[in-house]
Amino acid sequence: MMPVDLAAAAAATLADLVQERRRLSLLLSGLDLIDQGITVMDGELKLVAASRGLFKLFRSAPEMWRVGTPFADFVRYNAQRGEYGEGDVEEIVAKHVSLARQFHPQDMEHVRPDGTIIAIRSSPLPNGGCVTTYTDVTQQRAHARLVRARSEELDRRVHERTAELEAVNAEQKRLEAVLVHAQKMEAVGQLTGGLAHDFNNLLTIVISNLAVMRDHAAKAGIMEFVEPALVAAHKGAAITRRLLAFARRQRLEPRIVEVNSLIANLLSLSRHSLPSTISISKQPAPFELHTRVDPEQLEHAFLNLVLNARDAMPGGGSLVVHSASRLVHNAEAAELELAPGRYVEIRVEDTGKGMDETTLLRVFEPFFTSKPFGAGSGLGLSVVYGFVKQSGGAVHISSAPGRGTTVTLLLPASPAPTRPDVHQSLGARQSAGSSRLVLLVEDDADVRTVIRRQLTDIGHMVIEARAGDEALAIIDDVPELSVLVSDIVMPGDIDGRRLAHLAKQKRPGLRVVLVTGYADGLDVGGGRYRSFTVLRKPCTKDELAAAIETAPQ
């Protein structure tokens, strides 16, 4: 028999074990009530305890989580069913076991193959081992993503709305500036139109009386006073015509115009008015562009832009002319004071010195010019502005100092004409009417100025040359020429006589008028000069006009 004291000790020990088992059972039952997974590992990485929440999170059988199971078996089980992605199972096991043996605090998240997100937090125990909690944070992370997405969306909407308000405040300030500018230009236009009308009445009286005085003057000495007065009065009348153009009160004769061909003709004419240091190119639309405008006014406006570009490039540069079809929508139409719709765009770009903002604000005002005193009237761009606005279009200038200038004309687009020859070309108009394109050849600049003025007063358009060789090049390049007016005595190998013969060989239908102050014995009617008209200096513009009209073709 067992001694009494040993039996009592055994009974006490058994009672303690029962009590300890009861406490452990209570502890495990308590762990099972927690909605998290909990594991306790000893210092040898063997399972001491696990909660039922762990079985639910990983959807594994309770038998898998027996007390004493090595940590490596859990990792291997999970690796075999793809919890850690693809890879060698034993390498995965070794990696996780090595990390766990360090017994360092760990805090990480594990995404299961089904998308469940498990937050894992491991804390070391004082006497070795560790306790680890596993928490399903899938919903929390989803809510966090939703909150973040909504916050980002809110930020985006606030940013967009702020940008919209800033843009509206700016599409508003711009419109106010456009309105103020339009009101100013309208007021200036009304004032200018009224002044031009009044001055035209005064100039009509002055010119008429001076003309009568000239025709009835008995003393030749009076003419030296009358002629300058008439010239000045006619210049004044020309200025008032430009003012009326700016005020949009000029009389227009609109016709259907094909813009590409008009630009091609005018650039050909302009080439000889520009120095060789300026290159010219055109980039036309690949199809015909039609607009209903006054063709002569459009030609004058275009030539004005070309000459302005020339003056802006005294050291040379490039001039490019674009044409295109352009659809103007509501916002842009409001800014340009246009009706929305389809427009023909003519864009003239130069690489000149450009303009600053102050100049741009005043560039369309009559008599405003940035050129040196006496170099310009300040009416060029104002006339372009008035013509384009009167034609239902718009003109816009963009420029900056040192970056050149771009002038854009927008004119209402029109359908192609239903009958041919609605708008005759420049050359056709010249040959059919009294207005012709004349090549003036004169080496003396002052004499050339006088004759040019006479020709333009008659109504002709003029291209100038200083010598015979220069004139021959123009005759080759400009097919629209219909008249040659040349001095006979000129320096160089090609004088007026030889130039006339060579010109006639090249262009048999060309009218030729030779002007000289030395050919008293020149036989006009016969021999080698029967194809030319010879005019003696000095000649009046009426004599010059008659000589051109009667010159043989």
CATH number at residue 540: 3.40.50.2300
Is residue 383 domain-shared with residue 516, that is, in the same domain? no
Q: Does residue 499 contact residue 465 with C-beta atoms inside 8 Å?
A: no
Is residue 15 domain-shared with residue 41, that is, in the same domain? no
Is residue 467 domain-shared with residue 348, that is, in the same domain? no
| Per-residue pLDDT tens digits for 91-106 | 999 998 998 888 889 8
Helices (H), 40-137: 52-58, 71-80, 89-100
Task: Report pLDDT for 382.
Answer: 76
Local confidence band at 197 (pLDDT 50, 70, 90 cut-offs): low
Q: Which residues of 90-122 are buried (b: 16+ CB within 10 A; e: fewer)?
A: eebbeebeeebeebeeeeeeeebeeeebbbeeb
Q: Does residue 549 contact residue 523 with C-beta atoms inside 8 Å?
A: no
Q: How far apart are CA 278 and CA 308, in angstroms?
A: 13
Alpha-carbon dihedral 73, 77, 79, 80, rounded to 10 degrees: 130
Q: Find the length of the chain.
A: 553
Is residue 364 domain-shared with residue 473, that is, in the same domain? no
The answer on pLDDT for 454 being more than 60 is: yes
| Per-residue pLDDT tens digits for 231-250 | 666 666 666 655 555 554 45
Local confidence band at 485 (pLDDT 50, 70, 90 cut-offs): very high
Is residue 303 domain-shared with residue 403, that is, in the same domain? yes
- Give Cα 369 to chain centroid, integer Å: 26
More confident residue, 227 or 394: 394
Task: Report pLDDT for 433.
Answer: 43
Task: Report pLDDT for 244.
Answer: 56
Could you tell me if residue 464 is inside a domain?
yes
Average pLDDT for 312-332: 91
Is residue 262 domain-shared with residue 357, that is, in the same domain? yes
Is residue 211 domain-shared with residue 260, that is, in the same domain? no
Tell which residue, 530, 549, 542, has the closest CA to residue 215: 542
Q: Kind and range of the H or E element at 398?
A: strand 394-399
Q: Which of 246, 264, 291 is the last residue of a domain?
A: 246
DSSP assignment string, 221-244: HHHHHHHHHHHHHHHHHHHHHHHH
Q: How far apart are CA 484 and CA 478, in angstroms?
A: 12
Is residue 168 exposed (0-12), middle (13-18) or buried (19+ Cβ within 10 Å)?
exposed
CA atoms 388, 391, 392, 393: torsion sign: negative
Task: Report pLDDT for 274.
Answer: 81
| Per-residue pLDDT tens digits for 350-364 | 999 998 888 887 777
| Per-residue pLDDT tens digits for 290-306 | 999 888 788 878 888 88
Task: Report pLDDT for 242.
Answer: 56
Task: Report pLDDT for 342.
Answer: 93
Residue bearing tokens 């009389």: 251
Local confidence band at 411 (pLDDT 50, 70, 90 cut-offs): very high
Is residue 270 domain-shared with residue 240, that is, in the same domain? no
Q: How far apart are CA 388 and CA 294, in angstroms?
A: 10
Is residue 19 exposed (0-12), middle (13-18) or buried (19+ Cβ within 10 Å)?
exposed
Could you tell me if residue 468 is inside a domain?
yes
Could you tell me if residue 155 is inside a domain?
no
Q: Does residue 262 contact residue 242 with C-beta atoms inside 8 Å?
A: no
CA atoms 396, 398, 401, 402: torsion sign: negative
DSSP state of 133: E
Is residue 177 domain-shared with residue 299, that is, in the same domain? no
Residues facing residue 135 across a β-bridge:
119
Task: Report pLDDT for 422.
Answer: 39
More confident residue, 61 or 462: 462
Is residue 339 domain-shared with residue 459, that is, in the same domain? no
What residues have CB less than 8 Å from 312, skipping those under 6 apart? Answer: 350, 352, 353, 354, 404, 405
Q: Which of 215, 246, 277 is the last residue of a domain?
A: 246
Could you tell me if residue 141 is inside a domain?
no
Could you tell me if residue 157 is inside a domain?
no
Q: What domain range includes position 482?
A: 426-550
Is residue 437 domain-shared with residue 403, that is, in the same domain? no
Local confidence band at 225 (pLDDT 50, 70, 90 cut-offs): low
Q: Does residue 257 contact residue 291 with C-beta atoms inside 8 Å?
A: yes
Q: Which of 211, 226, 246 is the last residue of a domain?
A: 246
Average pLDDT for 127-156: 87
Q: How far apart are CA 434 and CA 545, in angstroms?
A: 10
CATH number at residue 314: 3.30.565.10
| Per-residue pLDDT tens digits for 167-182 | 777 766 776 666 666 6
Q: Which residues of 357-392 are buried (b: 16+ CB within 10 A; e: fewer)?
A: eeeeeebbbbeebbeeeeebbbbbbbbbbbbbbbbb
More confident residue, 457 or 426: 457
Maximum average pLDDT range among 54-68, 117-131, 172-186, 377-391: 117-131
Task: Report pLDDT for 152.
Answer: 86
Local confidence band at 24 (pLDDT 50, 70, 90 cut-offs): low
Q: Does residue 505 contact residue 535 with C-beta atoms inside 8 Å?
A: no
Tell which residue, 354, 348, 272, 278, has the closest CA to residue 316: 278
Residue-averaged pLDDT of the chain: 78
Local confidence band at 345 (pLDDT 50, 70, 90 cut-offs): very high
Alpha-carbon radius of gyration of the chain = 48
The answer on pLDDT for 192 being more than 50 is: yes
Is residue 270 domain-shared with residue 209, that is, in the same domain? no
Task: Answer yes or no: pTM beyond 0.85.
Answer: no
Tokens of 89: 């199972």
Name the least confident of 1-5, 32-36, 509-513: 1-5
Say how many C-beta atoms besides its own lie within 10 A of residue 237's C-beta.
Answer: 16
How many domains is the chain built from? 5
Task: Report pLDDT for 250.
Answer: 54
CATH number at residue 220: 1.10.287
What residues have CB less than 8 Å from 150, skipping those under 6 apart? Answer: none
Tokens of 166: 């800033």
Local confidence band at 420 (pLDDT 50, 70, 90 cut-offs): very low
Residues facing residue 438 across a β-bridge:
462, 483
| Per-residue pLDDT tens digits for 67-90 | 888 989 888 888 888 888 888 989
Please give the biggest Cα pair distance in the chain.
178
Tell which residue, 26, 30, 27, 58, has the closest CA to residue 135: 58
Say how many C-beta atoms besides its own lie within 10 A of residue 203's C-beta.
Answer: 20
The answer on pLDDT for 159 being more than 70 is: yes
Could you tell me if residue 126 is inside a domain?
yes
The answer on pLDDT for 546 being more than 60 is: yes
